[in-house]
Amino acid sequence: MAAPESEEILLEGNELEVLFNRTGLMVNPEMSAEMIQAAKNIEPSPGDIMELAAERADYISEGIPIGSYPPIIDGEDAAESEKLAVLLDKLGERLAFERQGTRLYQTFIQKLEAMPADDENAPSADELRHICDEELEHFRLLQRAITDLGGDATAMTPSADVAGVISHGVLQVACDPRTTIAQTLQAALTAELADNDGWQMLQQLAAELGHADLEKQCEKAFEQEQEHLQNVRSWLANMTLGEALALEGLEDDEGASNDKDEEDKPRRSQAKRSSRSKASSRRKKRK
């Protein structure tokens, strides 16, 4: 027999077997009971979890940093330079974040356009485009601000590096073609929460260090970011609530089952429904 050429054929033919979450104990209760019993029968390994702390402390005490502040092009006196380096580090962090945010929303828009949500609670592509444009605007604002302060806007500052590590997962979720609009919104929410605090801190820092123009620019960006956060939060909340209520409606339509055996089985209904809607949207797209 020839192997199926299309992944879709394989998926649709065995939908119930393929789209079934197998991660919990109750999928294989007998085998799980055996495992639990075996683990209970042994003594824990000697020592305790605090040994990890001592090992980590050993490395921490070497005091080698993740990286240094980039040099400042317009040299000032040492004390001023130190303060400026802190500001430039945080500006560099926001710059990297906004640049990545632009790519995040571009990916999100592409996903939304390829897989229409069929959900009135979901954002529209235009609404996401508005956020994306503002992320790009903020990135460019930061480029100019860093250059004007005598920094090198192309350098990766230590805070930018750390922010990149933190946001790695956010981008992975957005880029994954298998994640839903709601799951991508969850990733965007994490980014927006961090971004809001980031701009607020920048505004305060600029004010403290006497950079009035920068403070104003940060204030404006912060206001725009607050709007992003509010929108993302509300889309996500409404989509999640909408999904739950829609499922409740379906349960009512189908009628409650009185069969005790059926109740004891792990429920496949949700996987079945989401796979149906996904397969349907894939078919629509290919047509």
Partner 1 sequence: MSLELLKEKGVALDKQTFNWRDMVRVPTSKLDDDALTRVRIILMNGIESEALRFQHACARVNKDLQLALARVRRVEQHQQTMVNWLLPADLSPLETTIGFEQVAIEVTASVAQHEPDPYLAQVYRFGLLEDFDHMHRFSALMDRVVGGDANNILQSYTDILPGRPTSVEHRAPEDDLRECYDRSKAAPISKLNACTIMAGEHQTHDYYMTIGPMFADPIARQLYAEIASIEEQHVTQYESIIDPEETWLEKWLLHEAGEIYNYYSCLTYETNPRIKSIWQRFLDYELGHLHFVLEVFRKFEKRDPAELLPESLPEPIEYRSHRQFVREVLNKEVDLRARGTQFISKDEEEADSPSQRYRSQLNSDGSPSETIAAGYRWKPGTELAEETPDIQKLQRKVA
Rank residues 74 and 197 by Cβ distance to partner 1 and give the closer one: 74
Q: Does 47 bind partner 1 (CB under 8 A)?
A: no
Stretch 95-134 residues interacting with partner 1 (CB under 8 A): 96, 99-104, 107
Specify the residue, 100 or 203, whose C-beta has the smaller distance to partner 1: 100
Q: Name which of 25 and 60 has its Cβ closer to partner 1.
A: 60
The reply on whether position 240 binds partner 1 by CB under 8 A is no
Number of amino acids touching partner 1 (CB under 8 A): 42
Nearer to partner 1, 3 or 38 (CB): 3
CB nearer to partner 1: pick between 168 and 284: 168
- Whole-angstrom CA distances from 144 to 70, 126, 199, 214 are 16, 27, 16, 10
User: Does 237 engage in binding with partner 1 (CB under 8 A)?
Assistant: no
Stretch that binds partner 1, among 77-85, 169-177, 234-242, 273-281 (CB under 8 A): 169-177
Q: Residue 145 interacts with partner 1 (CB under 8 A)?
A: no
140, 220, 268, 278: residue in contact with partner 1 (rule CB under 8 A): 140
Q: Nearest approach, Cβ of 246 to partner 1 (angstroms)?
A: 27
Judged by the rule CB under 8 A, the positions of this chain that interact with partner 1 are 58-59, 62, 64-68, 73-74, 96, 99-104, 107, 136, 139-140, 143-144, 147, 150, 152-156, 158, 161-162, 164-165, 168, 171-173, 175-177
